[in-house]
Amino acid sequence: MKKYCLAIVLALLLLGISCQKKDATIIVSSPNQTNTIGFGLTAEGQPSYWVLHGEDKVIDTSLMGFEFKNQDPLAKNFKIVSQSERAFEETWEMPWGEQREVENKYNELVIGLEETEDPKRRLNIYFRAYDDGIGFRYGFPSQQGVDSITIMDEHTEFQLTGDHMTWWIPGDWDIYEHLYNTSKVSEIDALAKRDHPDLAQTTIPENAVNTPVTMRMDNGTHLSFHEADLTNYSGMTLKVDTEKLKLTSELVGSARQDHKLKVALPAKSPWRTLQIADKAGDLITSRLIENLNEPSVIDDISWFSPMKYVGIWWEMHLGVSTWDLEATQDMNTFATLDREQTSTKHGATTENTKKYIDFAAANGFGGVLVEGWNTGWDHWIGFEDREGVFDFVTPYADYDIAEVNRYAKEKGVEMIMHHETSAAPRTYDQQLHAAYELMQKHGMHSVKTGYVGKIIPSGEYHHGQWMVNHYRKVLETAASYQVAINAHEPIKGTGLRRTYPNAISREGLRGQEFNAWASDGGNPPEHLPIVAFTRMLAGPIDFTPGAFEMTLPSKPNNQINTTLAQQLALYVVIYSPIQMACDLPENYQGQSALQFIRDVGVDWEQSLVLNGEVGDFVTIAREERETGNWFVGGITDENAREITVDFSFLDPNRAYEARLYADTSESHYRDNPMDIHIESVEIDANTQKTFKLAAGGGFAISLILKGAAE
């Protein structure tokens, strides 16, 4: 891996520089003093903290504490036994990403606590103040006579300072594929989201939200709560006190265990993070989450290259073909069909795969995904006894894995593996080595995994410690076979792509697939302008954009609620190092808009958020690595609007071949989604230009550098 790391660790005592003692409160400020954390003990000796952004309190005094099994709570009667500060600064390189260089600069405060009475247990708290937010984590040191701790719950509070506007999904322990809700904190009602007709798994025990959860304060400051480096711990939801306007960590549990998690000592919790931004777009460019993770442990990731891909996928969601040799379920209702009702429309045949390979090769796509190639699909959704069913090495009789790989190689395309585990992780675990050996044998370097359904064994949840450890094991095992993971129904991204750059992308949101079969008809136009400021803060998204046929003839009750220009803009707005062009090859035939997907980059030197408001609109410009070409994408919600772009980010000494893909005055996501206007335009670093976006619309611009410097 091309990587350099300029680490300047100024392990100096900053007492009096950025940290000082004031009224028994210890404070640490970010390098430019924008954000300040205060720490102290209450009269009962309970740890507490607050956070300032400029002069404004964004988190008021909030308590910290833990409940353990067979032990008293670890919360009160503490004294401070140590305190150290340091400033840290480094620049690290993303092997692939939204930008090449990342500055990681913070001031750290480490507090050592000890109970004043027996058993005098100890707890360390690590605070980091960044200019774009703050993070803190707990450290449980080795203690005499104790080799592990069993945590019943963590009580980390975030006392808000107002009834902020909030973009939230329910604190589901099993899935993040909910629509975002927009409400004041006092109006959050996650329990109302319990019964979901389209989700094969959902568990919402509390009025809690999942992270990232984003808020806007009345003064315009934006906050987003999340976590970083989720390792051997349970995912964190945030319980909402709608009266006190307080969030409290509520860890995902397990009905098989009477506790939330168990860890050997010494141990550290994930970082609890708060990104703080004066304008919404600064949340997107914040790299706080990745910065709070450890450097890469994978020395060589050169075997993975960011790419665009196509695949045998959308046709199954449209009901045009099936994963199984014979259709076993109705994709609208998930009802199991009688065998008599089914017909053989298997998608993953050798012949059909070759059609996609030809299309990929002709249009410069790097990969072809094939779902439904292996045995097990006849016992998928609707079946409870899914253990031991999916087989990750045995193809269906009409799929010749050696031949498709040979053919793909001949055409300069790489096959992408698919492993639907049906949420039976033990079955997958048993076959991991054999599955990745098969991939290695065929030169396949990436796999899309899936975890649809309730976890087997019953009582475990997708976001609990047991599954967090499963997802990690998959990542680590895959790395040893030079395999990269794109997980669907995943655990949320917490910046681990820094440590494991083979964690290339994931779902973990309501993706394009819902447009094909959601009982509510499809994602509303505001969905992605919310996702960009919420889910996207957790890292790359395999949203699978690029639908060109928006009316979905095979799905009369569904449609894609965006214009075609917006589908193009998504390649820039929604970041992932792998980007699908999801539609059927025939729907791209003769479409000049395909040129944008052929041209657009997938790996970026830098990314700029030019404007945006959560839930309304956003415009992003990204410079492609190696070529210096720029791509701009803008999207809007259900409201048509004008967006003015100042192109001063372009190199003033270079000329660009600019092509605009825009909505027409007739375009509308509902009645006229496919109307698009494509033209060559004159754009250079002095240009300011206003673009008209239709309702549910967008615009995309490719700026290809002309050969010679002027």
Query: Does the footprint of ligand NOJ cover residue 599 (CB under 6 A)?
Result: no
Strands 78-93 and 5-10, sheet pairing: antiparallel
420 binds, among ligand NOJ, Ca ion, none (CB under 5 to 8 A by kind): ligand NOJ
Site string (294-333) toward ligand NOJ, x via CB under 6 A: -------------------x--------------------
Rounded CA-CA distance 509/489 in Å is 8
- 470 scored as a contact of ligand NOJ (CB under 6 A): no
User: DSSP letters along 5-45, please?
Assistant: EEEEEE----BTTTEEEETTEEEEE-TTSSEEEEEEE-TT-
Task: Please list the helix, strand and coil fractions of the chain in percent, rounded to the nearest 5, in that order.
Answer: 15, 35, 50
Q: Which is nearer to ligand NOJ, 414 or 513 (CB)?
A: 513
Amino acid identity of residue 386, one-letter, is R
Which of 85, 108, 154, 371 binds ligand NOJ (CB under 6 A)? It is: 371
**H or E element, residue 315:** helix 314-317
**Where does this chain touch Ca ion (CB under 5 A) — which range of 60-68, 289-297, 308-316, 487-495?**
487-495
Cβ 372 vs Cβ 312: under 8 Å: yes
Site for ligand NOJ contains 450 (CB under 6 A)? yes
CA–CA dist 700, 572 (Å, integer): 8
Residue 583 lies near ligand NOJ (rule: CB under 6 A): no
Residue 174 within binding range of ligand NOJ, rule CB under 6 A = no
Residue with tokens 């055409």: 411
- Non-local (6+) Cβ contacts of 215 within 8 A are 160, 164, 165, 166, 167, 185, 222, 223, 224, 225
Task: Determine the interface stretch with Ca ion among 33-41, 383-391, 486-494, 638-646 (rule: CB under 5 A).
Answer: 486-494
**Can you list the positions of beta strands (E) in 195-318?**
208-209, 213-216, 222-228, 236-241, 246-251, 261-264, 267-268, 271-277, 307-312
Q: How far is the CB of 511 from ligand NOJ (least distance, A)?
A: 6
Determine contact, residues 52/34, Cβ cutoff 8 Å.
Answer: no
Q: Applying CB under 6 A, which of residues 488, 497, 510, 622 lies at the interface with ligand NOJ?
A: 488
Q: Which one of residues 315, 324, 420, 663 is an interface residue with ligand NOJ (CB under 6 A)?
A: 420
Q: Are 86 and 12 in contact (CB under 8 A)?
A: yes
Give the residue with the Cβ less far from ligand NOJ, 517 or 647. Answer: 517
Interacting span for Ca ion (CB under 5 A) from 481-489, 564-572, 610-618, 661-669: 481-489
> Least distance (Å) from Ca ion to the CB of residue 578?
16
Q: Which does 450 bind (CB under 5 to 8 A by kind): Ca ion, ligand NOJ, none?
A: ligand NOJ
- Footprint of Ca ion on 74-113 (CB under 5 A): none
The token pair at 524 is 């509303």
Rounded least distance, CB 427 to Ca ion, Å: 19
Helix axes 401-410, 350-363, angle to 10 degrees: 20
Residue 337 beta carbon to ligand NOJ: minimum distance, rounded to whole angstroms: 17
* Contact range with Ca ion by CB under 5 A, out of 234-242, 265-273, 484-492, 677-685: 484-492
Stretch that binds Ca ion, among 111-119, 351-359, 473-481, 483-491 (CB under 5 A): 483-491
**Between 133 and 450, CB nearer to ligand NOJ:** 450
Nearer to ligand NOJ, 246 or 510 (CB): 510
Residue 492 binding partner per list Ca ion, ligand NOJ, none, with a CB distance cut-off of 5 to 8 Å that depends on partner kind: none
For the CB of residue 370, give the shortest distance to ligand NOJ in the complex, in Å.
11
Q: Which residue bears the tokens 């695949």?
A: 311
CA 482 to each of CA 307, 372, 472: distance values in angstroms, whole numbers, following the listed order: 16, 23, 15
How near is the Cβ of 3 to ligand NOJ at its closest, in Å? 32
Report which of 461, 446, 435 is spatially closest to residue 376, judged by C-alpha positions: 435
Classify residue 590 as exposed, middle or buried by CB count within 10 Å of its CB (0-12, 13-18, 19+).
Answer: exposed
- Is 340 considered catalytic here? no
Q: Measured from the CB atom, is 513 or 624 closer to ligand NOJ? A: 513
Encoded one letter per residue, x for contact with Ca ion by CB under 5 A and - for no contact, window 488-527 reads: x---------------------------------------
**Identity at 588, one-letter amino acid code:** Y
- In this complex, which beta carbon is closest to ligand NOJ, that of residue 210 or of residue 321? 321
CB of 507 to Ca ion, least distance (A): 5
Distance of alpha carbon 18 from alpha carbon 25, whole angstroms: 13
Does position 487 bind ligand NOJ by CB under 6 A? Answer: no
Per-residue binder mask for ligand NOJ (CB under 6 A), 504-523, x = binder? ---x-----x----------
Instruction: Give exposure, 267-306, as e/b (b: 16+ Cβ within 10 Å).
Output: bbbbbbbbbbbeebbbbbebbbbbbbbeebebeebeebbb
* Least gap, CB of 425 to ligand NOJ (angstroms): 14
C-alpha of 695 from chain center:
26
Q: How far apart are CA 373 and CA 655, in angstroms?
A: 47
Whichever of 507 and 616 has its CB closer to ligand NOJ, that residue is 507
85 binds, among ligand NOJ, Ca ion, none (CB under 5 to 8 A by kind): none
- CA atoms of 539 and 176, how far apart (whole Å): 14
Of the candidates 115, 154, 513, 549, the residue annotated as catalytic is: 513
Written as six digits, the tokens of 495 are: 């910046």
- Its sign, for the CA torsion 87, 93, 94, 99, is positive
Between 111 and 199, name the residue whose CB sits nearer to ligand NOJ. 199
Q: How far apart are CA 430 and CA 435, in angstroms?
A: 9
Considering beta carbons, is residue 281 or 450 the nearer one to ligand NOJ?
450
Binding site for Ca ion (CB under 5 A): 488
Write out the catalytic residue numbers.
513
Binding site for ligand NOJ (CB under 6 A): 313, 371, 420, 450, 452, 488, 507, 513
